[in-house]
Structure 1
Amino acid sequence: MTDEGGEPAVTWPRPGGLWRRLLASIVDYLVIFVALYALVATLFLMTDGGVKGSFWLNWKTCQSASLKGTSDPVLSRYDWQVCATSFFGFPVARWAAGTSTDSQSKAVSTLSIDLDSNGNFRSAALDLGFLQVLVLAIYLLVMEGAFSRSLGKGVLALFVHDELDWHREGLALQKAVRRQVVKFLGYLPATLVGAFFAFQAWKTFPIPVQSYSQLEIVIAFAASALAFLWPCWIALAIAFGNEPIHDRIAGTTVRVLEADQ
């Protein structure tokens, strides 16, 4: 069979499909999750708790405790718990979570203060949680640019094809960059907002009543909504058998890697 130009038409392998691509994405995120946790655990130890990580997957443990390093009468009214998130036993965040109930209004206030390795209050650590989307995008850019598949796609037998050169292994740099930029475009506002709040809080001490401007609240809400809706839109396109926006713009397609290829 030939196309209009007289050259053999490409017989594409079947599309990857929503669930296969979703599982591949989960595997890729777990790879990045482990790498980031290992990095943050190292930085946490090197900086005595000055760097921490709050990622999408977090397991924390808390226990009641009395805290050292403060004689502030306001803080002494709080009931405290010491909480920690760890990676294979190595801490990536340690903080004190306090709650206080006003005796008259019964209003409950909460406060969270980072701790050093000795359990003392310290200035706020730099939270690197905002880096996870950026690191994931760079990882996919490198892997798909070099091999046309990430570790997750390899496990699920998926291959990213260039629509103009489907036998090629590895995407051209321009296509690989374009694909990842568009794919993660919806997460960019949330990443920037996360970075803004992380650096704004860094090296400060929290106060019992922390307020944000209406503009900050609106921007944070809009960024979170976009970060939720963007992948839903991509998933719906794939579910209905269409190429998602990042593949359409980059000129790529994700197909099942057949055994005879």
Structure 2
Amino acid sequence: MTVIEGAPVRAGFWRRFGALLIDSIVAAVLLIPIQVLIAVLFLQTNGAIQGNLGLAFPSCETVNQLPPTLEPSPPADFTLSVDCTESFFGLHASRALTVVKIEQGNGKTSMLSWNYSLGPDGHQVDAFYVSWVGGLVFFAYLVLMETWRGATVGKQVLNIRTVDVQSPSTVGLPLRKAVARQLAMMIGLIPAFVPAFWWGDPFFANGADISETLSTSYIATTAITGVIEIAWFIWIIVSVSKKRDPIYDRIAGTSVLRTS
């Protein structure tokens, strides 16, 4: 193994942030051929495979005529129907239809929603979405680079690297620590999923009343989880700004040091 000598100096906020921006660009470049492949599969499978890796842009239009034989059937007297296609430089990667019906009664306004996956021909399909591949590729890139070099491309450009605190002079993290570090970073994202799990499938199913997102309980839950997420990121920013190991580095037993 390669050994580097020298007194450790922790990386500050701006070097870490700059490295993240560079790595985001690198990840986007890595995802381009995969996004193109998804667009090809969307066409070749008639929409059975769809996905947006964060590179495709949506284009939506209201429609008055619905595709035939939609399941489950939307109401004939729907209020609004929107057909959205996500494309990457003209290559369609996904297509979806949203049908909305607004009802008023008993002093309450309800907004019922139905969502359908569509193929290139505009007919309903049973689609398999692969949008998760983008996150998986980025995760794998971060883990593999820190296992191999102790630094991603962004970290190498800005002369910082991630080390095992038990062996700071050794280049490259043990695989388990590299994985643990990335997973620990995501702890602060867990609250974002609370509303979805709390309300469950009936809330998000076809025909569900999406006006419930304006209910006091939903807004309160979303606000609380949002505050928790913000507090998590502020905690990390303050720790890094003071050149201390943030919580995810302490959990994984790692540290980010300057190499020059």
Pair in the same fold by TM > 0.5 = yes
1:120 Cα offset (Å):
1.6
| Runs of 5+ consecutive residues of structure 1 not aligned to the other structure | 1-8
Query: CA separation of 1:190/1:142 partners in 2, compared to 1, >3 Å: closer, same or farther?
Result: farther
Q: TM-score, normalised by structure 1?
A: 0.69
Contact 2:86-2:92 at 8 Å conserved across structures: yes
Distance (Å, rounded) in 1 between the aligned partners of 2:22 and 2:86: 22
TM-score (norm 2): 0.69
* Distance apart, 1:189 and its partner CA: 6.6
Q: 2:111·2:211 contact (CA, 8 Å) conserved in 1?
A: no
Partner of 1:206: 206
Aligned equivalent of 1:180, options 161, 179, 182: 182
Q: What corresponds to 1:18 in structure 2?
A: 13
Q: How many percent identity over aligned positions?
A: 28
Q: 1:154 to 1:45 in 2, by over 3 A?
A: farther
**Is the counterpart of residue 64 in structure 1 residue 62 in structure 2?**
yes
Q: Corresponding residue for 2:159? A: 157
Give the conservation status (yes or no) of the 8 Å contact 1:137–1:184: no
- 1:103 and 1:47, CA in 2 relative to 1: closer, same or farther beyond 3 A? same
Q: Deviation digits for residues 18-65 of structure 1, max 9, x if unmatched?
A: 122123223333444552644643553454323433566763111233
8 Å contact kept, 2:74–2:99: no
In 2, the alpha carbon distance for the partners of 1:205 and 1:119 equals 21
Root mean square deviation, CA, Å? 4.3
Task: State the distance in 2 between where 1:33 and 1:205 align.
Answer: 32
Aligned length: 243
Amino acid at match of 2:172: G
Q: From the superposition, tell whether residues 205 and 186 of structure 1 become closer, same or farther in structure 2 (CA, over 3 Å).
A: closer
Whether the 8 Å contact between 1:67 and 1:120 is mirrored in structure 2 is: no
Cα distance between partner residues in 2 of 1:134 and 1:228:
24
Rate the CA distance shift 1:209–1:63 in 2: closer, same or farther, 3 A: same
The verdict on how the C-alpha distance between 1:129 and 1:82 changes in structure 2, with shifts beyond 3 A counting, is: same
| Inter-partner Cα distance in structure 1 for 2:137 and 2:228 | 19
Q: Do the aligned partners of 2:35 and 2:52 also contact (CA within 8 Å) in 1?
A: no
Equivalents in 2 of 1:127, 1:256: separation in Å?
40
